[in-house]
Amino acid sequence: MLTCKEFLTELNAFLDEETDALLRMQLEKHINECPNCWVVVDTCKKTMKVFKGMEPQPIPREVEGRLMEALRRKMEARRTGES
Ligand SMILES: [Zn+2]
């Protein structure tokens, strides 16, 4: 089972479909079990689609940074929010 940190490390490769089959399977398993990372992937995919329609670029660094920040905050809120 991957951790969220490991997942995020592989996120770009996953979105670019550059991961090998085994890693891809593990990443997909993680998405199925982790709503936080699922949201990140879903948002990235939508963002990529939008940007692909306009310019031939992958995820803009700025968008990626914002997503990471949002995820970090969410995870922190979860940690402090739960007893
Ligand atoms: Zn996760």
Whole-number Å distance, alpha carbon 4 to ligand 1 midpoint, is 4
Whole-number Å distance, alpha carbon 71 to ligand 1 midpoint, is 9
Whole-number Å distance, alpha carbon 42 to ligand 1 midpoint, is 13
Number of domains in the chain: 1
Whole-number Å distance, alpha carbon 30 to ligand 1 midpoint, is 6
Whole-number Å distance, alpha carbon 31 to ligand 1 midpoint, is 7
Confidence (pLDDT) at 52: 62
pTM, rounded to two decimals: 0.59
CA 36 to chain centre: 8
Q: Domain of 17?
A: 4-81
Environment class of 41 (CB within 10 Å of its CB; exposed 0-12, middle 13-18, buried 19+): buried
Q: Which amino acid is at 21?
A: A
Query: Mind listing the pLDDT tens digit for each residue in 34-56?
Result: 999 999 999 988 887 766 666 55
CA dist 36 and 30 (Å) reads: 10
Whether the Cβ atoms of residue 34 and residue 8 lie closer than 8 Å to each other = no
